[in-house]
Homo-oligomer: A and B are copies of this chain.
Amino acid sequence: MTRPTPLSGFPEWLPEQRLVEQQVLDRLRRTFELYGFSPLETRAVEPLDQLLRKGETSKEVYTLRRLQAAEGEDEQSLGLHFDLTVPFARYVLENAGKLQFPFRRYQIQKVWRGERPQEGRYREFLQADIDIVDRDTLPSHYEAEIPLVIGDALRSLPIPPVKIMVNNRKLCEGFYRGLGLEDPEEILRIVDKLDKIGPNAVKAEIQQKATEAQAEACLALAGISAQDASFADDVRKLGVEHPLLDEGIAELTAVVETAREHSPGLVEATLKIARGLDYYTGTVYETELAGFERFGSICSGGRYDNLASAGRDVFPGVGISIGVSRLLGLLFKADALGVTRPVPTAVLVALWSEEERAASNRIAASLRARGIATEVAPVPAKLGKQIRYAERRGIPFVWFPANGENPDQVKDIRSGEQAAAEAQTWAPPAADMAPTLR
Residues of B within 8 A of A22 (CB): 39
Q: How many copies does the complex hold?
A: 2
Residue in B4, B10, B371, B375 whose CB lies within 8 Å of A45: B10
Residues of B within 8 A of A213 (CB): none
Question: Does the CB pair A68–B114 fall under 8 Å?
Answer: yes
Asked if A205 is an interface residue, CB under 8 A from chain B, the answer is: no
Asked if A63 is an interface residue, CB under 8 A from chain B, the answer is: yes
Residue in B6, B64, B95, B345 whose CB lies within 8 Å of A80: B64
Q: How far is the CA of A375 from the CA of B45 in the complex (A)?
A: 32
Residue in B33, B68, B361 whose CB lies within 8 Å of A258: B361
Residues of B within 8 A of A63 (CB): 64-67
Residue in B1, B40, B48 whose CB lies within 8 Å of A310: B1
Q: Which of A70-86 contact B (CB under 8 A)?
A: 76, 78-80
Question: Does the CB pair A45–B94 fall under 8 Å?
Answer: no
**Provided the pairs A42-B12, A354-B141 are in contact, do residues A94 and B36 lie with their beta carbons within 8 angstroms?**
no
Question: Does the CB pair A4–B50 fall under 8 Å?
Answer: yes
Contact with B along A100-125 (1 / 0, CB 8 A): 10111100001010100000000010
**Provided the pairs A44-B112, A94-B5 are in contact, do residues A38 and B12 lie with their beta carbons within 8 angstroms?**
no
**Provided the pairs A10-B45, A80-B64 are in contact, do residues A37 and B344 lie with their beta carbons within 8 angstroms?**
yes
Residues of B within 8 A of A42 (CB): 12
Contact with B along A1-35 (1 / 0, CB 8 A): 11111110011111110110110000000000111
Residues of B within 8 A of A139 (CB): 378-379
Q: How far is the CA of A45 from the CA of B112 in the complex (A)?
A: 10
Stretch from A54-62, A177-185, A195-203, A238-246 at the B interface: A54-62
Residues of B within 8 A of A21 (CB): 41
Residue in B19, B36, B371 whose CB lies within 8 Å of A343: B36
Taking the closest CB of chain B, its distance from the CB of A151, in whole angstroms, is 11
Contact with B along A180-224 (1 / 0, CB 8 A): 000000000000000000000000000000000000000000000
Asked if A357 is an interface residue, CB under 8 A from chain B, the answer is: yes
Residues of B within 8 A of A78 (CB): 7
Contact size range, A: 35 or more
Taking the closest CB of chain B, its distance from the CB of A121, in whole angstroms, is 13
Taking the closest CB of chain B, its distance from the CB of A364, in whole angstroms, is 8
Question: Does the CB pair A18–B4 fall under 8 Å?
Answer: no
Asked if A311 is an interface residue, CB under 8 A from chain B, the answer is: yes
Residue in B4, B68, B148, B372 whose CB lies within 8 Å of A58: B68
Q: How far is the CA of A211 from the CA of B11 in the complex (A)?
A: 55
Among A64, A98, A112, find the residue whose CB has the most chain B CB atoms closer than 10 A.
A64
Asked if A373 is an interface residue, CB under 8 A from chain B, the answer is: yes
Asked if A309 is an interface residue, CB under 8 A from chain B, the answer is: yes
Q: How far is the CA of A5 from the CA of B97 in the complex (A)?
A: 13
Question: Does the CB pair A105–B15 fall under 8 Å?
Answer: yes
Question: Does the CB pair B134–A378 fall under 8 Å?
Answer: yes
Residues of B within 8 A of A18 (CB): 38-41
**Provided the pairs A43-B124, A112-B44 are in contact, do residues A344 and B36 lie with their beta carbons within 8 angstroms?**
yes
Taking the closest CB of chain B, its distance from the CB of A37, in whole angstroms, is 7
Residues of B within 8 A of A91 (CB): 12
Residues of B within 8 A of A14 (CB): 95, 98
17 A-B pairs with CB atoms under 8 Å apart are A2-B310, A3-B93, A4-B47, A6-B94, A15-B99, A15-B103, A15-B105, A18-B38, A33-B434, A34-B368, A35-B375, A36-B343, A36-B373, A36-B375, A45-B124, A69-B114, A139-B378
CB-CB nearest 9 A-B residue pairs:
A66-B114, A36-B345, A59-B68, A33-B344, A36-B375, A10-B43, A15-B38, A3-B310, A34-B368
